[in-house]
Amino acid sequence: MTSPLVECVPNISEGRDLEKINAIVEVVKQTPGCTVLGVEPDADYHRTVITFAGPPESVVEGAIALIEASVWLLDMRNHKGEHPRLGVVDVCPFVPLRDITLDECAELARTVVERLAQNGDIPLFLYGAAASRAERTMLSHLRRGEYEGLKARLDGSDQTHSNETKLPDAGAMIWSESVARSGGITVGARSILVAYNVNVEEQGASVAKKIGSIVRSSGRLLKSDAGGKIRSRGMLDSVQGMGVPVDELGISQVSMNLLDVERCPLHLAFKTCESLAEDHDTALCGSEIVGLVPLQAMLEAGRYFSPDATSDNALVSAAVDGLGLNRHHHFDPGKHIIEWALEQEGNI
């Protein structure tokens, strides 16, 4: 007998101060029913991906507690990092893991936003399956201009947003000291995705940026001098991607979201980036799975790298080797593979 299980993957705009990160994670751990499955700080992004799961009502409480703690502890006014962001919690998606639909997860996101809006001091945006209208579905549209552009959006001087994407869905609609600290917070719902970063052997991110815009499904926007616009598609299906430097390691990454890991398996993303890196006389140095990955995705990658392997363990091991998941990062199958992590936590 199973029961509904929801994953929540908030990203907070703090990737360096472990004391603050731990304090924020702690409020989730203290929320009854919530199990923290991963905490992945990134100093260059200045951002931490936190993964937790539990029954829907518990995850709602955990998310609210996490957002309130982040608003309390973090401050956007001096925040600089490689990853685009709008506020102290820059994305807080609800993801259906078991016995719950995407629509029901969207309802959880709306509940969180309504509860937080009661104080009225944070600009709150709903995205993904929880978006209030089609134009607001894409996070990249809502986030255009990032934190630095938010003041202009609220005081009406912004020229880059349409009326459909400019303002928050709820909460603060006016710029203030507290909004300057928190920025805008984006809460949403989406299907499970795999956050997958491929490491490129280069300082800076010149090659990684080129690869990112070749592989991402949205491809490249191509303009004519006279203002004509057309878009090529990318080499990978259902993938968001961009190139970023990882100064800490002296490498760069093609940072991707595999939105449908059946359409774009891990090994396809890896080998396509590898082939494009070779075009530029450089090489890959492994890759990184941030957060959770479905077991099937690892098994499929394992079959590609080691067609003769049969057991799940041997296939996972072949995938870890083939994708170089331990080259610059650490991959613990018991923590990163959803099914195995849930087992370890007593099925939550």
Count of chain residues binding a second copy (CB under 8 A): 34
Please select the residue that binds a second copy; options are 30, 160, 275, 310, rule is CB under 8 A: 275
Note the helical H segments in 173-243.
Answer: 177-182, 206-215
Please select the residue that binds a second copy; options are 234, 245, 286, 291, rule is CB under 8 A: 234
Residues 278-297 within binding reach of a second copy (CB under 8 A):
279-280
232 touches a second copy by CB under 8 A = yes
Q: How far is the CB of 23 from a second copy (least distance, A)?
A: 43
Tokens 């685009």 sit on residue = 84
1 touches a second copy by CB under 8 A = no
In terms of Cβ atoms closer than 10 Å to its own Cβ (0-12, 13-18, 19+), residue 346 is exposed
Please select the residue that binds a second copy; options are 133, 230, 313, 343, rule is CB under 8 A: 230
- Cα of first residue to Cα of last residue in the chain, in angstroms, is 13
Please select the residue that binds a second copy; options are 123, 322, 324, 333, rule is CB under 8 A: 322
Residue 276 token pair: 């494009």
Please select the residue that binds a second copy; options are 173, 174, 222, 283, rule is CB under 8 A: 222
98 touches a second copy by CB under 8 A = no
Instruction: Measure Cα distances from 332 to 74, 254, 285, 300 in Å.
Output: 29, 21, 18, 18
Q: Are the C-beta atoms of residues 192 and 223 closer than 8 Å to each other? A: no
Q: How far is the CB of 291 from a second copy (least distance, A)?
A: 24
18 touches a second copy by CB under 8 A = no
Shorter beta-carbon distance to a second copy: residue 227 or 334: 227
Is 83 an annotated catalytic residue? yes
Q: How far is the CB of 127 from a second copy (least distance, A)?
A: 27
Stretch of residues binding a second copy (CB under 8 A), selected from 98-106, 109-117, 266-274, 290-298: 266-274
Stretch of residues binding a second copy (CB under 8 A), selected from 28-36, 137-145, 153-161, 228-236: 228-236
Task: Indicate the DSSP class of residue 208.
Answer: H
Q: Are the C-beta atoms of residues 148 and 100 closer than 8 Å to each other? A: no
267 touches a second copy by CB under 8 A = yes
Please select the residue that binds a second copy; options are 156, 228, 334, 346, rule is CB under 8 A: 228
3-state DSSP call for residue 35?
strand
254 touches a second copy by CB under 8 A = no
Residues 193-212 within binding reach of a second copy (CB under 8 A):
210
3-state DSSP call for residue 269?
helix
Stretch of residues binding a second copy (CB under 8 A), selected from 36-44, 226-234, 330-338, 339-347: 226-234
Q: Are the C-beta atoms of residues 145 and 152 closer than 8 Å to each other? A: yes
Please select the residue that binds a second copy; options are 214, 289, 292, 297, rule is CB under 8 A: 214
Q: How far is the CB of 301 from a second copy (least distance, A)?
A: 9
Catalytically annotated residue among 79, 83, 141, 336: 83
Q: Are the C-beta atoms of residues 168 and 212 closer than 8 Å to each other? A: no
Closest CA to 142 of 132, 238, 230, 194: 132
Residues 299-318 within binding reach of a second copy (CB under 8 A):
303-308
Q: Are the C-beta atoms of residues 220 and 295 closer than 8 Å to each other? A: no
Instruction: Measure Cα distances from 99 to 28, 52, 94, 110, 212 in Å.
Output: 22, 17, 14, 19, 35
35 touches a second copy by CB under 8 A = no
The set of residues, in sequence order, having a beta carbon less than 8 Å from that of 15 and lying 6+ positions away, is 21, 41, 42, 43, 44, 45, 46, 47, 48, 81
Q: Angle formed by the axes of helices 312-322 and 295-305, to 10°? A: 70
Q: Which residues are catalytic?
A: 83
Q: Which residues bind a second copy (CB under 8 A)?
A: 210, 214, 219-220, 222, 224-228, 230, 232-237, 265, 267-268, 271-272, 274-276, 279-280, 303-308, 322
